[in-house]
Amino acid sequence: MLPPLSVAVQTIVCRPSPLLRERPASEEGEIDTFAVPALTRIDEFNSVFGTRFSDEEFDTIGGLVLHELGRMPRRGEAVEIGGLELKVQRADRRRIDALRVTTPRDFELKAE
């Protein structure tokens, strides 16, 4: 049995925020980590993290990581860009699927 059309439309159109806090800072000075899909658009990433990454050459945060490393990364590899550590959580030989973003101790999110 198929779900009602309104349920199907909500499932397709209304997606939750792609940036998920994995480990919130419990005390002042502790580091936050966030799960971020590699297909997150750079402009959306910038609006949440307050960064100013250019979207001239790359549309997604995964594309930026790929460019910074200069090759297809393996799971567990990380790069620091703009004071944030972006670590590859899931990837295959052709694409990056998910990243873990770690913020510095004194970092404040722009949109929570």
Residue 19 has pLDDT above 80, yes or no: no
Residue 28 has pLDDT above 90, yes or no: no
Segment 45-92, tens digit of pLDDT:
999 888 999 989 999 999 999 999 999 999 999 999 988 999 999 998
Angle at the Cα of 108 (from 73 to 75), degrees rounded to 5? Answer: 15
Integer CA distances (angstroms), 74 to 7, 40, 61, 104, in order: 37, 19, 16, 23
CB neighbour burial string for 53-63, b if at least 16 within 10 angstroms, e if fewer = bebeebebbbb
Q: What percent of the chain has pLDDT over 90?
A: 49
Domains of the chain: 17-102 (3.30.465.10)
71/91 Cα distance (integer angstroms): 12
Whether the pTM exceeds 0.75: the reply is no
